[in-house]
Amino acid sequence: MTDTHHVAPRGQPGWALAWRVSYAFLRLIDPWLRISWRLGALGITSRLEVAGRRTGRPRDVLVGLLRVDDRWYVGHPNGAAAWTRNLDAAGEAVIRPSSSISVRVSATRLEPGSERDAAIRATARQQPFPGNLLYRASRRHVLAVGVYFRLEPV
């Protein structure tokens, strides 16, 4: 009898910790980031609004909106986060590339493969410094555990 249960991919513990520390820092400066975003000073940063999977209330998070071959992608490099679980459950969201533009999108979670790999490579190219360096250095970890979605306008 063969064992058919799925084993989740494992990242590298050191990079998992580095990403947790980096996101803890981002949470500390979140108010400043949101002000900068409203002023249009954060490059690829967009605001993603998605219904909470338990409450149904709108939740928002700042994400890097990646562009690959005229398609949009968002993702989290360190595995599932609250917003990726919400997006998985809702299947749709509103993306705001700027404070004056709002687009309703459907979200498709990417399975391991060439499209997901392309989105991860784009993250390392499109993220501004110093984030781009962190993505490049931790590429194997992100490939193993990152959660990425393709967004398509509804």
The answer to whether the CB of 90 falls within 8 A of the CB of 53 is yes
Q: Is the pLDDT of residue 77 over 70?
A: yes
Q: Which two tokens stand for residue 119?
A: 């989105």
Which amino acid, one-letter code, is at 94?
Answer: V
Read off φ and ψ for residue 107, nearest 5 degrees. -125, 130
Report the alpha-carbon distance of residue 77 to residue 138 in Å, rounded: 9
121: left (phi over 0), alpha (psi -120 to 50) or beta: alpha
Q: Convert the pLDDT of each residue in 29-72 to its tens digit.
A: 677 666 666 667 667 889 999 999 999 999 999 999 999 999 99
Q: Convert the pLDDT of each residue in 136-150 to its tens digit.
A: 999 999 999 999 999
pLDDT at 83: 96
Report the alpha-carbon distance of residue 122 to residue 86 in Å, rounded: 23
Work out the end-to-end distance of the chain between its first and last CA atoms, rounded to an integer number of angstroms. Answer: 45
Please report, for the chain, the start and end positions of each structural domain, with discontinuous segments joined by +: 34-153
Counted residue by residue, the chain has a size of: 154
Query: What does CATH list as the number for 34-153?
Result: 2.30.110.10
Q: Convert the pLDDT of each residue in 87-113 to its tens digit.
A: 999 999 999 998 889 999 999 999 999
